[in-house]
Amino acid sequence: MSETALLLPNPAGIDAAVGILRVGGTVAFPTETVYGLGADALNDAAVAKIFGAKDRPQFNPLIVHVADLAALRALVEVPKVAEPFLQLFPGPLTMVLPRRANSAISPLVSAGLDTLAIRIPAHPVAKALLSAFGGPLAAPSANPSGKVSATRADHVLAGLSGRIDAVIDGGACAVGLESTIIGFDDQGWLLLRPGGVPVEALEALSGQPMRRPAGDNITAPGQLASHYAPEAHIRLNSDAPQPGEAWLGFGADPAGLPEAQINLSPSGDLTEAAAALFGALRDIDAMAQAAGMSYIAVATIPETGLGLAINDRLRRAAAPRG
């Protein structure tokens, strides 16, 4: 593949991106969560390019992005239990719903499942791209599989330059964490992956407490045990770094920190920390490598609000690697 084109988030850039997508190419684009790597969700060959560019295992399903609720309802069945959550669109939510029998979505997208992970992004560039393209886009996070997600265009290029056709530079992503993914059964909603919509908001909307599915089957993106991993190893829930460790802080820092240090939010703001997480992981990893450090100590982060999603990503980043 030739050099990856960097496109501006203007009408000319959108038109160029649409032209690439219509001939089966791949385009990374900003969403409010992270950058997605988009391809025509109806085109088997185009979707296969996503898996190839990311080195993503094909048993790991993709999220389909659509422009509006009409497009969503055309691809999936929305059970009564799911209807209240539609008011959260557009936004950082993905719903796993039964595919319609006549859906033309590539079977590669859903990894052989009879469900589809689908969302309506809120980012103006993503909305403009979907509207101009006029169809659904399969779009996982725009980074090599298992590595740290991209929240800026330069992050995309660092991992995928020369492996994808283009990236639209829409600046930094506001939320900074992938979408919350929910599924449904006869009893209500299930949390499949914490993300940009806090669990507390879902519980308030539904009047039901959070439940997780039983078993370890992959039913949605972002469920692999090892994911979002930097090069250095991660040590979680640390009071302070040990000698030879870099430091990723939250809230008040301990004394005597090394030069390789970043704080996600000195004030202890979980929204600020979520937006900073993936960029900070990339930066502290580079600092650790430059200093010859093989470990990053990470401060304790509360398991409330967006902290649930932040800790989910950090635990997967710290998991043993295959």
Domain ranges of the chain: 5-206, 233-318
Q: Which of 111, 123, 135, 160 is nearest to 34 (CA)?
A: 123
- Residue 44, pLDDT > 80, answer yes
pLDDT band at 213 (very low <50, low <70, confident <90, very high): confident
Tens digit of pLDDT for each residue in 248-270?
A: 999 999 999 999 999 999 999 99
- Residue 220, pLDDT > 90, answer no
- Average the pLDDT over each of 2-16, 19-33, 101-115, 273-287 and give the range with the smallest value: 101-115
Between 111 and 226, the higher pLDDT residue: 111
Proportion of the chain above pLDDT 90, given as a percent: 85
Q: Are 94 and 220 in contact (CB under 8 A)?
A: yes
CATH no. for 5-206? 3.90.870.10
pTM: 0.92
Q: In angstroms, rounded to a whole number, what is the distance separating the alpha carbons of residues 105 and 102?
A: 9
CB atoms under 10 Å from CB of 301, counted, come to 25
Between 223 and 34, the higher pLDDT residue: 34
Secondary element (H or E) of residue 16: helix 11-22
**Residue 297 backbone dihedrals phi, psi, to 5 degrees:** -85, 135
What residue type is 305 in one-letter code?
G
- Residue 285, pLDDT > 80, answer yes
For the residues 125-146, what does the mean pLDDT come to? 96
The whole-number pLDDT of residue 2 equals 78
For the residues 263-288, what does the mean pLDDT come to? 97
pLDDT band at 106 (very low <50, low <70, confident <90, very high): very high
The whole-number pLDDT of residue 215 equals 66
- Residue 219, pLDDT > 80, answer no
